[in-house]
Amino acid sequence: MRVEPWHWLILALLGSNMGSFESRAGILSLLIFMLAGFFSILIHELGHALTGRKFGAIGTEVVLHGMGGVAIFPQSNFTRLQSFLVTFAGPAVQLLLGFSAYFLLGFTQVGTIQGFNEFLASLMFVSIFWALLN
């Protein structure tokens, strides 16, 4: 796995409306958003990568870059159905993550853990939005 610097920069730009950079709370909100975005996009790409490996891909690599990520399959020969399933797996697992975050946010008492609700809200937003966009 490789994470390019542009990945962090774009996440910072996307999350820059989370709060003011003049306060600790604003900086913490940005960092929480960036962590949630990183985790969500990583899970998305791992959905592609692990499904590809299930179908025999060798040398699979995940790269997180400026506008998301990519799973690279240098030695693969997928059938049409396998290719569809590999493509579908990323958004599917990311939607599952987003709805899991929604469930945890709405039905548990985790408000006592500072920043955790904010992480879940960011994770839910990024996961569902990115999966539908993808």
pLDDT, tens only, 80-122: 999 999 999 999 999 999 999 999 888 766 556 768 888 999 9
Question: What is d(CA 80, CA 10) in angstroms, rounded to the nearest whole number?
Answer: 33
pLDDT in tens, 32-50: 999 999 999 999 999 999 9
The predicted pLDDT at position 109 comes to 65
Percent of all residues in the chain with a pLDDT value above 70, rounded to a whole number:
93
For residue 118, count CB atoms less than 10 angstroms from its CB and return exposed for 0-12, middle for 13-18, buried for 19 or more. Answer: middle
Question: What is d(CA 82, CA 40) in angstroms, rounded to the nearest whole number?
Answer: 23
Distances (CA, A) of 25 to 16, 20, 71, 120: 13, 8, 34, 16
pTM (two decimals): 0.91
